[in-house]
């Protein structure tokens, strides 16, 4: 008798649990999906996002502080002269190594390197993810007077 009761209970539980599950999942069919359609709908990126760097080239005095603190040594700087008159020849960041830790922004004396809001960078080769910030054509490089078109949060901890 006991066995029969257990058996009936198992059958009943199987039906019940299916029903309970369906009452949860089926209504979702008629709700609005939660996901964003990424390339068209861009998620809201907070200004604190540690994305690809943003560089104000004219402010940089080629002091090498940023590349010294970088834990993975992924910043390469070559410049003529030092201080206010410095002319940056290369300022390369190797994004295949970068940790996006924002440590490079912290010691910069002129606050000219920032973490920007852009988070997507793709390439077919490893060289394509090495970005030269001395190149003024780069959309993430700004000259001294230019206003950066998005909110920049200071990571500086001098």
User: Could you give phi then psi for residue 20, rounded to 5 degrees?
Assistant: -60, -45
Identify residues 18-37 at the interface with other proteins (CB under 8 A): 18, 20-22, 24-26, 28-31, 33-35, 37
Which ranges constitute the DSSP H helices of 30-114?
A: 65-69
Residues 40-79 that bind ligand SF4 (CB under 6 A): 60-66, 70-72, 74-75, 77
Please choose, from the candidates 93, 132, 109, 118, the residue with its C-alpha nearest in 3D space to the C-alpha of residue 59: 109
Vertex 126, ends 139 and 50: CA angle to 5°? 50
Among 106, 111, 132, 135, binds other proteins (CB under 8 A): 106
Find the binder of ligand SF4 among 110, 118, 138, 156 (CB under 6 A): 110
- Identify the three-state secondary structure at position 47: coil
Task: Single out the segment in contact with other proteins by CB under 8 A; choices: 12-20, 79-87, 125-133, 143-151.
Answer: 12-20
Which of 15/73 has CB closer to ligand SF4?
Answer: 73
Strands 75-80 and 53-56: unpaired
Please state the closest distance from residue 62 (CB atom) to other proteins, in A: 19
Give residues with Cβ within 8 angstroms of 123, minimum separation 6. 129
Strands 141-142 and 53-56: parallel
Q: How far apart are CA 58 and CA 144, in angstroms?
A: 5
The angle subtended at Cα 106 by Cα 103 and Cα 112, nearest 5°, is: 110
- From the list other proteins, ligand SF4, none, partner contacted by residue 7 (C-beta under 5 to 8 A by kind): other proteins
Q: Which residues bind other proteins (CB under 8 A)?
A: 7, 10-11, 13-14, 16-18, 20-22, 24-26, 28-31, 33-35, 37, 44, 46, 48-50, 69-71, 99-103, 106-107, 115, 153, 155, 157-158
Q: Which residues bind ligand SF4 (CB under 6 A)?
A: 60-66, 70-72, 74-75, 77, 93, 98-104, 108-110, 112-113
């Amino acid at each position: 008798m006991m066995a029969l009761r257990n058996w009936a209970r198992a059958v009943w539980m199987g039906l019940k649990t299916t029903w309970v599950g369906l009452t949860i999942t089926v209504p979702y069919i008629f709700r609005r999906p939660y996901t964003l359609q990424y390339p068209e709908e861009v998620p809201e990126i907070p200004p604190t996002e540690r994305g690809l760097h943003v560089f104000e080239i004219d402010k940089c005095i080629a002091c090498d502080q940023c590349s010294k603190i970088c834990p993975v040594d992924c910043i390469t700087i070559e410049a003529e002269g030092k201080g206010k008159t410095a002319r940056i020849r290369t300022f390369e960041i190797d994004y295949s190594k970068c940790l996006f830790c924002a440590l490079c922004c912290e010691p910069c004396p002129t606050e000219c390197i920032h973490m920007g809001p852009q988070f997507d960078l793709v390439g077919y080769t490893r060289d394509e993810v090495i970005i030269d910030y001395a190149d003024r054509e780069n959309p993430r490089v700004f000259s001294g007077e230019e206003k950066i078109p998005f909110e920049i949060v200071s990571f500086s901890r001098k």
